[in-house]
Amino acid sequence: MDWGRAKTILIVAFIITNIFLAYNVWEAKYYGHRNERISDDSIREVVEILGQRGIQVNTPIPRDIYTDEILTARYTEIDAAELIKTVYQGKDVFPGAKGDSIRYSEDGIVLEIKNNREVFYNNLSLRNQPKGNLTEEQAVDIAENYLRENGLYKPTMTIDSVVPNGDGYLLSFLQKYKDKLLEVSVVEMEVTSGGVNSMHMLWLDPVKAERSRKKISHAVDALIKVAGQKEILKRVPVEIDSIRLVHYFDWKTAREGEAFPAWRICVDGEAYYVNALSGQISK
């Protein structure tokens, strides 16, 4: 492959037309067939052109292909009976139906289990309690202990962020598989000195991994495709906050399915996922 020619086509397309057209030219000729390392000069030129278009790239762009694995994953099934027993400390709590969810409420604690896999928890009784000083480390301990006590903790849970929030913290746990995030697998919690105020959990369990016959695209391909989205071009200037390769599970109703390698590109805090095999983009 003549990378110099590809780079020239890209630059000319950006200057003469627009970012979206540039991607179409790039994709039609080269998408899915390159497996070499992109040069630093080429990356800098793309970043410069995007900057001229009002799209500021504030994160390093990966230069190598890291994996071509397709991961099969399944949603963690929630044992509702056990969870109710621990959350409500053995009290008899009667469920109420709410669409595809089962909802429980007792003593200011509201627990909702959706599709036997997604958990929403709110402890309203903690809202009016006196607040105490809480360190970041203590907040993490409270969150992890809560998960363990309720049989929800997974060894693969990785702290993604701990953000101050009033007298407490907002915590986010993500999951890694072979050093890459498995998305969307998440636990989000609001913690104060009184305990866990709220929690949302939707977790995935890896089942098996297989090699794809097709090589994945470069991060530059995904970046150009995201930059060419009309909704982004309409609101420039924007900033690219992060670019990373993840395993992306996009099955809304199936219990089990494939998590494809995807480039996760965050634009002004909003995540876009570009399937690194097909080029399909989703949010």
Q: Which pLDDT belongs to residue 132?
A: 73
Q: Which pLDDT belongs to residue 63?
A: 77
Four-residue CA torsion sign, 123, 80, 283, 156: positive
Residue reference for tokens 């930059």: 227
Class of domain 3-55+67-71+210-282: mainly beta
pLDDT-derived band at 117 (thresholds 50, 70, 90) equals very high
Q: pLDDT (tens digit, 9 = 90+) per residue, 12-62? A: 444 434 444 444 444 444 444 444 567 778 888 889 989 988 999 999 998
Q: Which pLDDT belongs to residue 39?
A: 75
Output the pTM of the full model: 0.75
Q: Which pLDDT belongs to residue 251?
A: 82
Extended beta strands in 32-149, E state: 55-57, 69-75, 96-98, 101-106, 109-114, 118-123
Task: Tell which residue, 75, 72, 73, 69, has the closest CA to residue 262.
Answer: 69
Selected from 3.30.930.10, 3.40.50.11390, 3.30.310.160, 3.40.50.12240, the CATH number assigned to the domain covering 77-202 reads 3.30.310.160
The C-alpha angle with vertex 86 and arms to 82 and 92, in degrees rounded to 5, equals 80
pLDDT-derived band at 152 (thresholds 50, 70, 90) equals very high
Domain boundaries along the sequence of the chain = 3-55+67-71+210-282, 77-202
